[in-house]
Amino acid sequence: EAGVAQSPRYKIIEKRQSVAFWCNPISGHATLYWYQQILGQGPKLLIQFQNNGVVDDSQLPKDRFSAERLKGVDSTLKIQPAKLEDSAVYLCASSLVFRNSPLHFGNGTRLTVT
């Protein structure tokens, strides 16, 4: 079974620039999540999708972050404009739609904002 795919692997941008991350979940996983992991900390949930609808985006800084999952499969996360404090690893995960199904993570995109 192929895992969660993410790209790019690394990204370096200057503050106030924009950036986008892409995620392809495990086939058959209706639920998709974006997490932010700052160095030395545990992942923090940004947004959860079920199919192409948002289930929870309460932790997403909506003034600069946006995410979409138009066809209920792939997803993109965008930051515009980026700030220094956005430097982190952005992890995508997917799970079956059922409550309390384990999340399977991709290897993330490491973002550095200079």
Partner 1 sequence: GESVGLHLPTLSVQEGDNSIINCAYSNSASDYFIWYKQESGKGPQFIIDIRSNMDKRQGQRVTVLLNKTVKHLSLQIAATQPGDSAVYFCAENVGRNQAGTALIFGKGTTLSVSS
Residue 60 binding partner 1, by CB under 8 A: no
From residue 76, alpha-carbon distances to 37, 39, 47, 101 in Å are 17, 22, 11, 22
Alpha carbon distance 63, 1 (integer Å): 37
Examine residue 104 and tell whether it contacts partner 1 (CB under 8 A): yes
Beta carbons of 97 and 50 less than 8 angstroms apart: yes
* Residues of this chain, 14-53, that bind partner 1 according to CB under 8 A: 31, 33, 40-45, 48, 50
Among 78, 81, 105, 112, binds partner 1 (CB under 8 A): 105
How far is Cα 61 from Cα 47, in angstroms, rounded to an integer?
Answer: 10
Nearer to partner 1, 24 or 31 (CB): 31
The β-bridge relationship of strands 53-56 and 44-50 is antiparallel
**17 versus 76: smaller Cβ distance to partner 1:** 76
Among 65, 67, 108, 113, binds partner 1 (CB under 8 A): 108
Is 112 a binding residue for partner 1 by CB under 8 A? The answer is no
